[in-house]
Amino acid sequence: MDARSLAILESIMRVLIPDPLRSYTAGIAVVNAPGATLAELVDELDRRYPGLRFRIIDEQGGIRRHIKFFVNGLQACDLRPMLRERDEVMIVCALSGG
C-alpha cells in the first residue's frame, strides 16, 4: 500500500447529511467516509450513494448555489480544502418557498 492510500484510509470524516438528501443514504443522517480533500470525500460519497454528487455539485464542478459545506464549523467555498482524520463535514441545503 502506498503512502497516499494509507493517508486516505487514515482520514475518515464524519459527514452530516441533511434531510433533503437522505433519500440517497437510505435515511442515514451521519455517515463516515474517507478523503484527503473535500473533493475526494464528495467522490467517495457519490460512489457509495449514487446520484448524491449531482444534487450538491454542478456541471462545472462547483458547489451548487443552494448547498453549503462546513468543515469543523467553517464554511468551505470550494472543494479544495484538505481534510484530516476525524474532521466533521456538514452539508447544508438552503430552504426556499413561502
* Average pLDDT by stretches of 10, the chain with 98 residues: 55 92 96 94 97 96 96 97 93 78
Q: Given this model, what pLDDT does residue 61 score?
A: 95
Q: What is the pLDDT of residue 5?
A: 56
DSSP assignment of 10-76, as one string?
Answer: H-EEEEEPPGGGTTTTTT-SEEEEE-SBHHHHHHHHHHHSTTHHHHHB-TTSSBPTTEEEEETTEEE
Are 34 and 44 in contact, with CB atoms under 8 Å apart?
yes
* pTM for this prediction: 0.85
Show the domains of the chain with their CATH numbers. Answer: 3-93 (3.10.20.30)
- pLDDT, position 85: 85
Residue 96: per-residue pLDDT: 65
